[in-house]
Amino acid sequence: MRVAVAGSSGFVGSALVAGLESAGHEVVRLVRHAPAAANEARWDPEQGVVPLARLTDVEAVVHLGGVNVGSHRWTRRFKKELHHSRIRSTTVLASALTGLSVRPRVFVCASAMGYYGPDRGRELLDEESGPGDGFLAGLCQDWEHAAQPARAADIAVCHSRFGLVIGPGGGALKPLLPLFRLGLGGHFGNGEQFWSPVSLHDTVRALRFLVEQHGCVGPYNVTAPEPVSNGEFSRVLAAELHRPRLLPVPGFALQIAIGQASSELLGSLRVVPTRLSEAGFEFEHPEVRAIIRSAL
């Protein structure tokens, strides 16, 4: 199968390309720079440039692009950049796919569990749950809507609502490891808020599943089936590193340090992958200890 991947140089994207190629698929990497390899094709969403000739006979397109939400403090300017980078690129790519004489069967576009809002307490959230409030919820709704041109052209559109992706060398664990390795790690706030992690390994497997399985369409929560409290996550991480778990990090300290983005650490999202499980996908790292071990 020929698969085009946008956002192929990122944490998830680079792992996905490797996973697809190891499974025998031919990958076309859509890149912003001048192509440096035979499997790369340049695109420029700002200018509306998509290399349609390189997308001939592509059966699936995966779009993972967008500025990293954790790369800067959430200023008004940065939030505009987060929004624009996702909506513009998705709209341009989805619209371009409709112009192909032979359209791809499926368009898998990234989204996030932020769709459900910053804090839903102990509510169990699956794909039937309604959207939440706040910046990320609005961003995710606009992001998913931006794929509408592909939907209107009868391309199966899947929205992968990622949880906290954890893997070697990056993801949600990267900023935590230095403190925990020094024995200075602790839970955030009261530690009772739910986190919904997923291993990078299972994230790649889930994306491959959506690409390879016929009939998948709509939103899919890409989170492990066992959400965990932040306190338990911190306890397991400290234990796996053989380090003590110290005092919690107060909520006000996080708000001072990283501003509005602190809501993503202090809020509670108890998300489960109902639709993936019903489709027959099985997680190899279903719970927090296995997830953390996969990253260390």
Mean pLDDT along residues 262-274: 83
pLDDT tens, position by position, 132-171? 999 999 999 999 999 999 999 999 999 999 999 999 988 8
Model-level pTM?
A: 0.94
3-state class of 283 per DSSP? coil
Domains in the chain, CATH or no CATH each: 2-295 (3.40.50.720)
Structure tokens at 61: 């397109």
Closest CA to 52 of 110, 1, 106, 103: 103
| Neighbouring C-beta atoms of residue 188, cutoff 10 Å | 22
Which residues are paired to 170 by β-bridges?
Answer: 167
**Do the bridges between strand 124-125 and strand 106-112 make them parallel or antiparallel, or are there none, so unpaired?**
unpaired
Alpha carbon distance 239, 223 (integer Å)? 22
pLDDT tens, position by position, 156-166? 999 999 999 99
Alpha carbon distance 111, 115 (integer Å)? 8
Alpha carbon distance 155, 7 (integer Å)? 20
At residue 265, the pLDDT reads 64
DSSP 8-state secondary structure symbol assigned to residue 71 = S
Instruction: Give me the residue label for tokens 């990622």.
Output: 162
pLDDT tens, position by position, 41-65? 999 999 999 999 999 899 999 999 8
